[in-house]
Chains A and B, each alone.
Chain A
Amino acid sequence: MSKKKGLLFDVTLCIGCGSCYDACKQKNKLPRTNSNFLSDHLSANTFTVVEQYNDKYARKMCMHCDEPSCVSVCPVGAFSKSETGAVLYDGDKCIGCRYCMQACPHKVPRYEWGRTQPRVKKCTMCDDRIKAGKIPACAEACPTEATLFGDFDKIFEVAKKRISENKRNYYPHIYGLDEAGGSHVLILSPVPFEQLGYTPKLPKEPMPMLTMRAMEKIPPVVGLGGVFLGGMYWLTKRKNQIAKEEKELKEL
């Protein structure tokens, strides 16, 4: 049995009630940040938001990428991928360089700017709840199955089925399947995703590959560079030596 879990968010089913927003705050013991949840934004105290676009509502949260940029860029490995698929953060390791915030293609990680010992904050997909046999607080609170939790394979099937059975209601794309190499949160929408504020035109290739292509050149650069420099040292020294000897010979 695959342990990889996932969340499916379906814009067509979301009624903008804010139950997921409240449940998330409660579960993570986060303080109130806005009197109207619809005008709130992601912050160190808000891990998920519901944004209103006319009559449509779009949830924003950590996408829990398959090959996350944050995991790859963190110099001390404070980010890790849980066996459930959730992307987790260890505040004890963090040195506070904030490269994760810079690198995240979905602009998700937030910082505790107000603290003198700040940490990065974001959705954990309720990894602790999943491991305890429960489902994420937001999915549990959702009254309409707009947020659906389950094994990744299963929710992927559900997403495909919903689009194929109801072609008129859906924009024919599952956001999160390929974006930035794919993620554990999948999103369905009736309109193109950029109209709902989801980052458009993300590469299909995992973002860390962009860095890897440069990083993998390090061993050859060091190896060949070392040999080249050593060789040049020997060559030019010898050349100078010979030049000097010839000069001395001439002078004789």
Chain B
Amino acid sequence: MNAEKLFKFSFWKVVAVLIIIAGLISTYYRFTKGLGATTNLSDEVPWGLWIGFDFLGVGLAAAGFTIAAAVHIFNIHKFEPIVRPAILTAFIGYSLVVGLLIVDLGRPENFWHPLVMWNIHSVMFEITWCIICYSTVLVLEFAPVVLEKFKLHAPIKLLRKISIPIVIAGVLFSTLHQSSFGSLYLIVPGRLHPLWYSSILPVHFYISCIAAGLSMIIFESYLNTRAFNTGLSINILSKASAAVVIVLLIELVLKFTDMVFSNKLYLLGVPSMETSLFYLEIIIGTIIPVIILSSKKNRENKMLLFLASISVISGFILNRMNVCITGMVASSGINYFPSIDEINITFMLVVLAMLGFKYVVQTFPVFVEEEDKTVQLIELPEAENIIASE
């Protein structure tokens, strides 16, 4: 490592440490002074930035189930190298959500209550269970990578035997709770702005998370190649980005059709903050990436792929924030903006998630050309030629 690189790394290390210290201080205040003193949440705005980031953590982790399904269920083996980063991303995303829930819940010490106190009519109850189950699935899906490192072959064999049912369960749990984040808002027709409220909000959430999750893998792979030279081949990423375009177009058509059928098209001509944000969300999250990625030449350009993935992710973040914060502003009558403690804690958890990701990637073989068939997978040459697929 040369001096310039070393300096660059230490600069970011200092930033990370500062963010974590600030976050820890805010966390201390959060638990000693209560939610009222440390957040800008109120009776009018009971959900804020933290719930928003829960949506992001789970949504951006969607590649975990998408790619696992593509490779293990639909046997599209060309995506095999993405399986590990996708599952790791998902696991890190869900850990972030757990961290956020601990600070966000009014009574975090009661977090286990949904396990024994059931209300099957509650979307929140369903989400809680799905997230617990899916996190377990993710651990089982990622376990072979860790076990491999320590050369524990017996449990790997066992896991491989049950791998297909595990993947199927994972896809089902994900389908349920990814969509259920949208279902949470079905009961607030009077509160959520009509541009975002829809009786098929769960379907919108489900489809949009797939595009965002895949973009997340492209994004991570680019950064990883730059930092450690262990990213994924451009070939696979360009194929994944083609899938992103398809999903984005499906969602766009569905959104438009939904608006036509629920007589909401006129809203697009009503000048308001919400309308501008809605356009922004569509332009950044859908139009720009679709324009970039529809050309095959662009899909093979690393930089453009990276920019398009950032665009999709930004549009997705904007969409979720619009649903849970901006879209609720008008009805609450209060302009919510997160407090410094809310922001500090959120940043801290995001930094910890990034460090966690970095640590795992450096310690275990995550970005590899082929998912494990044998234990010595790293020595395998170009995966694509070996696998009979499609």
Contact = CB atoms under 8 A, between A and B. Distances in A.
A69 B121 CA distance: 10
Contacts of A232: 73-74
A233 B121 contact: no
Given A113-B42, A211-B123, A221-B175, A96 B108 contact: yes
Contacts of B390: 240, 243
Nearest to B130: A218
Interface string B360-375: 0000000000000000
A115 interface: yes
Contact of B125 (A69, A76, A117): A76
Interface string B312-353: 000000000000000000000000000000000000000000
B5 interface: no
B12 interface: no
Given A113-B42, A115-B34, A95 B123 contact: no
A221 B176 contact: yes
Given A76-B119, A225-B171, A226-B168, A42 B111 contact: no
Contacts of A190: none
B188 interface: yes
Contact of B119 (A77, A201, A212, A229): A77
Contacts of B41: 113
Interface residues of A, number: 60
Interface residues of B, number: 60
Contacts of A117: 106-107
B121 A208 contact: yes
Interface string A84-102: 0000000001111111011
B346 to A, nearest CB: 17
Given A201-B190, A222-B176, A113 B35 contact: yes
B123 A73 contact: yes
Interface stretch (B149-157, B179-187, B258-266): B179-187
B46 A240 contact: no
B231 interface: no
B32, B46, B191, B202 interface centre (most CB from chain A within 10 Å): B46
Given A225-B172, A243-B388, 20 more contacts: A72-B121, A73-B124, A74-B122, A96-B105, A96-B108, A97-B124, A98-B106, A103-B187, A113-B43, A114-B37, A116-B31, A119-B106, A210-B186, A212-B121, A214-B186, A215-B126, A215-B183, A225-B171, A226-B172, A240-B77
Interface of A: 42-43, 69, 72-78, 93-99, 101-103, 105, 107, 110-119, 199, 201-203, 207-208, 210-215, 218, 221-222, 225-226, 229-230, 232-233, 236-237, 239-240, 243-244, 247
12 contacts: A75-B128, A95-B108, A96-B106, A96-B107, A98-B46, A102-B46, A111-B43, A117-B106, A199-B190, A208-B121, A213-B186, A229-B171
